[in-house]
Structure 1
Amino acid sequence: MKKTLVSLFTAIVFFAAAVSAYAHFGMLIPETSIVSPAKKTIEMELSFAHPFEMHGMDLVKPKKFSVYHDGKETDLLSTLKQNKFLDHSAFTTSYKFNRPGMYTFYMEPTPYPEPAEDNYIVHYTKTIVSAFDEGEDWKKPLGVKTEIVPLTRPWGNYAGNVFQGIVLLDGKPAPYTRVEVELYNKDSKLKAPHECMVTQEVLCDGNGVFTFACPKPGWWGFAALNDADYKIEGKSVELGAILWIQMFSY
């Protein structure tokens, strides 16, 4: 009996370690990145997860959730509805597009304590949506703590296209930042040939620019990671600049 309990405990610890090894991603996923006049209202899900392996974590109510359009920010925090994603706390909302243009949805989460890494995680998450085939300000930063500013238009791209972005930290390019990349494996149909291929990694160049070719259609998440210049309860803080883009098949 004692050996069985030890074996069970070892298995649980191994599983927890394996799950914590996957990349964390703040997730802000709308139905589509291209909105047409025929369907002006779309649903969105906000969550925190390992998107390829589909392991969820609890997302408490964000500190901030808003949309930027035509140089103006609109607070959407009150529109969030509690939901479940992968059996963990998450949120949903809907948004109606009344005018053409580019809409940047932004989430700043409550800091997430990660016991496996003995730190806190804060992922500043963006998703950009084009309404009615309009929007030219996709390369304009929001001016938040850290973010990925696209150098490739972040919608209307085919799978296989190269995507480029520049990582900003405190408004300045962050050279040689490590960027983790994962596909939102929504239906869990894809299996990585090797565990190391679950999360792809690229490094920014000396100007804070990274390049990645997305081989499959679907939603791709980019997480540019840096250490904060402050601590929470004496623990280090991982700052993530998260950007989600949608790739389409022919």
Structure 2
Amino acid sequence: MSLSLRAGLLTAALFSGAACAHFQELIPQSDTLTPQSGGQVQLSLTFTHPMERGPAMAMGQPVQFGVVGPQGRQDLLERLTSTGVDGQQAYLADYRVTRPGDYLFYLEPAPYWEPGEGKMIIHYTKVVVEGFGALEGWDQPVGLPVEIEPLSRPYSLWRGNLFQGLVRHQGEPVPFAEVEVEWRNDGSVTPPSDGYVTQVIKADANGVFSYAMPRSGWWGFAALLEAEQPMTNPQGEPVPVELGGLIWVHARDMN
């Protein structure tokens, strides 16, 4: 193999690694709580590459973490406990559901500096947990700067169901927004090539996107926009900012 070809392959490999999609995970033990399961739920907060099963990236102290539910909005920052994933900072949180209804957990993480892409990353993330069969409240907005409004109920989904969402920025629909999709790999799937790791779809002129989930498990949908204003990186330089609006939904097999 020639030196120039080796250099080209190395450059391609480095570029491919730098371009891996980042997903902020906010994963509950279950998206549905019943009287039999009880109301206790633990949520895992990890910044990682879900389809590739890592590696995780260090999270700073979150700016916001809370829930919108039947009791209104609750700040849950003080319930976060530190944990480690792949040797990096991550978080856990415990919450007890005491009233029937849908619970919208949301997270604003600390800005993350990604030197490989030369930008800061902020992924506003949410997940909906259904409590005790009330089946209402899932479509209310949390009020995040970038947010996916579910048009399909984001729980009690079968594998193969079509999930639809509306991308909003400051409350307004985003025409033709780019949405990245990844499955939270349990180790049972090896992507045949890089293109299978992150699925990419575009919203339509009204900001609406659709995706049929081909496998059971957790699916992350990330609508990505560039912020109007730059931020300062750790070296004190102004850099662009990737804003993400994420939602996690779970699909089950019909056993």
Q: TM-score, normalised by structure 1?
A: 0.92
Is 1:121 equivalent to 2:125 in the alignment?
no
Q: Which moved more, 1:167-176 or 1:227-236?
A: 227-236
Structure 2 gaps of 5+ residues are: 1-5, 233-237
Give, in whole Å, the separation in 2 of the partners of 1:85 and 1:16.
Answer: 23
Residue 242 of structure 2: aligned partner = 238
CA deviation after TM superposition for structure 1 residue 23, in Å: 0.8
SS for the counterpart of 1:196 is helix
SS for the counterpart of 1:102 is strand
Give, in whole Å, the separation in 2 of the partners of 1:227 and 1:43.
Answer: 32
Residue 216 of structure 1: aligned partner = 215
Residue 189 of structure 2: aligned partner = 190
Give, in whole Å, the separation in 1 of the partners of 2:203 and 2:227.
Answer: 18
CA deviation after TM superposition for structure 1 residue 117, in Å: 0.9
Residue 28 of structure 1: aligned partner = 26
CA deviation after TM superposition for structure 1 residue 71, in Å: 6.7
Residue 235 of structure 2: aligned partner = none
Aligned CA distance change for structure 1 residues 62 and 15 (closer, same or farther; 3 Å): farther
RMSD of aligned Cα (Å): 1.7
Query: What percentage of aligned pairs have identical amino acids?
Result: 39
Residue 48 of structure 2: aligned partner = 49
Give, in whole Å, the separation in 2 of the partners of 1:209 and 1:63.
Answer: 28
CA deviation after TM superposition for structure 1 residue 144, in Å: 1.6
CA deviation after TM superposition for structure 1 residue 159, in Å: 0.6
CA deviation after TM superposition for structure 1 residue 134, in Å: 1.5
Residue 206 of structure 1: aligned partner = 205
Give, in whole Å, the separation in 2 of the partners of 1:209 and 1:246.
Answer: 19
SS for the counterpart of 2:18 is helix
Give, in whole Å, the separation in 1 of the partners of 2:18 and 2:109.
Answer: 19
Superposed counterparts of 1:89-104, under 5 Å = 89-104=89-104
Aligned CA distance change for structure 1 residues 82 and 182 (closer, same or farther; 3 Å): same
Superposed counterparts of 1:57-72, under 5 Å = 57-70=57-70, 72=72
Q: Which moved more, 1:95-104 or 1:17-26?
A: 17-26
Aligned CA distance change for structure 1 residues 80 and 15 (closer, same or farther; 3 Å): farther
Tell me if the contact between 2:106 and 2:142 (Cα under 8 Å) persists in the aligned partners. Answer: no
Residue 228 of structure 2: aligned partner = 229
Which of residues 18, 34, 37 is equivalent to 2:35?
Answer: 37
CA deviation after TM superposition for structure 1 residue 209, in Å: 0.2
Tell me if the contact between 1:113 and 1:119 (Cα under 8 Å) persists in the aligned partners. Answer: yes
Per-residue CA deviations over 1:38-77 (Å, capped at 9, x if unaligned) read 2211211001011000121111121010000137110100
Give, in whole Å, the separation in 1 of the partners of 2:187 and 2:16.
Answer: 18
Tell me if the contact between 1:44 and 1:94 (Cα under 8 Å) persists in the aligned partners. Answer: yes
Tell me if the contact between 1:54 and 1:86 (Cα under 8 Å) persists in the aligned partners. Answer: no
Superposed counterparts of 1:150-169, under 5 Å = 150-169=150-169
Query: Which residue identity is paired with 1:146?
Result: V
Tell me if the contact between 1:103 and 1:129 (Cα under 8 Å) persists in the aligned partners. Answer: yes
Tell me if the contact between 2:69 and 2:137 (Cα under 8 Å) persists in the aligned partners. Answer: no
Aligned CA distance change for structure 1 residues 93 and 71 (closer, same or farther; 3 Å): closer
Tell me if the contact between 2:79 and 2:93 (Cα under 8 Å) persists in the aligned partners. Answer: yes
CA deviation after TM superposition for structure 1 residue 84, in Å: 1.1
Q: What is the aligned residue count?
A: 241
Query: Which residue identity is paired with 1:170?
Result: Q
Query: Which residue identity is paired with 2:65?
Result: F
Residue 111 of structure 1: aligned partner = 111
Tell me if the contact between 2:121 and 2:241 (Cα under 8 Å) persists in the aligned partners. Answer: yes
CA deviation after TM superposition for structure 1 residue 16, in Å: 5.3
Give, in whole Å, the separation in 2 of the partners of 1:191 and 1:178.
Answer: 25
Give, in whole Å, the separation in 2 of the partners of 1:19 and 1:90.
Answer: 22
Structure 1 gaps of 5+ residues are: 1-6
CA deviation after TM superposition for structure 1 residue 193, in Å: 1.7
